[in-house]
Amino acid sequence: MFETFFDFIFSRWTGIPMLFWFGMQLRKRGLDRITFECMTDDRISYITDKQILQLWNRLTRINIIIGWWYSKVIGPYFIVMSLLLFVMLWIFQWDIPSIFAGREHIAWLLAILAAISGWMAFFPASWNPEAGDPGPELKTRFAVGADIQFYKEVVFNLYRNIEYQTYLAVYYDKEDKAFRQLHLDYLCFVPHLVKWGVIAWYSLLMGWCFILVLNTLVKNLIL
């Protein structure tokens, strides 16, 4: 099953364009992240809570770091790998040997690791509509993770709603405020999951791509 799936994904017709597009998108999104953090954000002036300020600054640092790695390292890495595969598969007409033939247990282990790291990086928390409206541009998102722009929208709306409920405490249910506060407290912990999830996710993808290219070179040049 894995062998057939990977043969299709990394075929001449789908693998190379997909890998090149993936690298270009990562590079573009990395530059977008850095541009977003360089823009003036007036929302921080409305935050007076020290813990939320620390979370906000931590998210800013994470976004800049992810943006740098996307635009300078990971994106160009996949672009170069796609060009190498283009030379090997289209010009030299080499075949890609199967990496997981007879190693299905390793394939399943890597798939499980990829699923866990992908959840940690991109889906560690969900956006609850009761927490506040994140705005029309981000309303279609449902997970809070490595998308720091959406992450900040959710944090700011939660904080604003909690502060508003505190100001007009007599009109609001205490349980509703406690629920939002609990959700916000969890979001203060999520950056740790996002950081290690992104590292693990892209380490798996980059390592897999490197082994694929190296194995192809070895099988066609040496053996």
pLDDT of residue 22: 92
> Once rounded to an integer, what is the mean pLDDT over residues 132-147?
64
Query: Model-level pTM?
Result: 0.81
pLDDT of residue 5: 56
Q: Which of 167-176, 181-190, 200-209 has the lowest mean pLDDT?
A: 167-176
pLDDT at residue 210 greater than cutoff 70: yes
With a CB cutoff of 8 Å and minimum separation 6, the contacts of 122 are 143, 145, 146, 147, 197, 201
pLDDT band at 213 (very low <50, low <70, confident <90, very high): confident
pLDDT band at 90 (very low <50, low <70, confident <90, very high): confident
pLDDT band at 170 (very low <50, low <70, confident <90, very high): very low
pLDDT band at 188 (very low <50, low <70, confident <90, very high): confident
pLDDT mean across residues, the chain: 80
pLDDT band at 21 (very low <50, low <70, confident <90, very high): very high
pLDDT band at 168 (very low <50, low <70, confident <90, very high): very low
pLDDT tens figures, 105-127: 787 888 899 999 999 999 888 76
pLDDT of residue 133: 54
Looking at per-residue confidence, does 61 or 165 come out higher?
A: 61
pLDDT band at 64 (very low <50, low <70, confident <90, very high): very high
pLDDT band at 85 (very low <50, low <70, confident <90, very high): confident
Could you state, in order of their start, the residue ranges of all structural domains in the chain?
2-222
pLDDT of residue 34: 95
Percent residues over pLDDT 70 in the chain: 75
Cα 127 to chain center, whole Å?
16
